[in-house]
Structure 1
C-alpha cells in the first residue's frame, strides 16, 4: 500500500491542496476534482453515489481503493454553496428555482430508496456556471438503515423523528 499521493498519481491525478478529509486535485487534462476520504466500511454508500446520475446531484467520477481507505472522486463545484449565495443578492425567483431543482434531486434519490439525511445549505453546491447540485452525502443510507449524527451543526436541519430514533421515511 503506497502513500495517498502515489495512489492518486497511479490513477492519473495530481494533488493540488488538502484540508481535513477533502483533497483538491486535477487530472492529466487539467480538469479539477474534489476527493472525499472515506473509511473502507463506507464502500456500500460510495457505490450508491457512483451510480447516481442526475443533473442536480454532484457527479461522482470514481472510487479509488487503498487498503482501509476509499477516495471518492467527484466534480468540483466552484460556485460555492447555498449558505454563501443566499447572503448575496439572491432573488425570490432564484431561490424558488433552486428549491424546485433540489426537490427533483431528492425525488431521484427517493426513487432509488436512498435518503440524504444531511440536507442543509452547506450541502447544496453551485457549479462554475451556476447549476445547483445536491452533495455532501456524509450521512446517506437506505431507508432500512440507521445513522449516527456526527456534525452538531447539522442538528438544526435533521427531522425530529430521526433525532428521536423513531422510524423515518422519505418524508422525513
Structure 2
C-alpha cells in the first residue's frame, strides 16, 4: 500500500492518467500463517526449528471495483486502452501481497499485471515488450517492479534476441542524454 500510494502520487504529479477515475475498495479476507523468504533460505528446518525466525501472520486482502462502479462489460463502446500495466516479480504477481489491488485503489484506475513468479524482473519485461498486448495497446503508464537485490546481478535475457536488447539499451541511453540536455539548460537559455 505504501509503494502503491507513492507511485500514485508520482504519476499524478508527472503523468496524470487520462480517463474517468474509478473507485476500488480493499477488504480483509482471512489471516493465515506465513512462512517468509528468510525461513526458506535458512537450512535449519526441521532439526533446529527453534532457531528459525517465527512464522508471521498474514492478513490476506482482496480489491474489487466499488459497488457504484459499472462493470467493465456494461459499457457498450468500452475503451480498450490499458491505463496502467505492471511488470515485475513474484512480489507483484503473488496475490498474497495484493499489490495490483493496492495500485488500483491508489491510482483510481484499472491495472493489468504482467508480473511473473520465478523469472526475476528482466524476463517478464522483455516478454511484455515483445508481446502483442504491448504492441497493439501500450499502456499510458508502465510500472516495473524491480527488487533491489537484482540491481548488482547480471540478469538473464532468456531467449530474447541480443540485438533487440542492445537496441532497447541504445534507445534508453539516447533518451537519458536528451533528458540530461534538457535539465542542463539555464533559465536564460530556456527563455531564448
**Larger strand share, 1 or 2:** 1
**Larger helix share, 1 or 2:** 2
Greater relative contact order structure (CA < 8 Å, 6+ sep):
2
| TM-score, length-scaled by structure 1 | 0.26
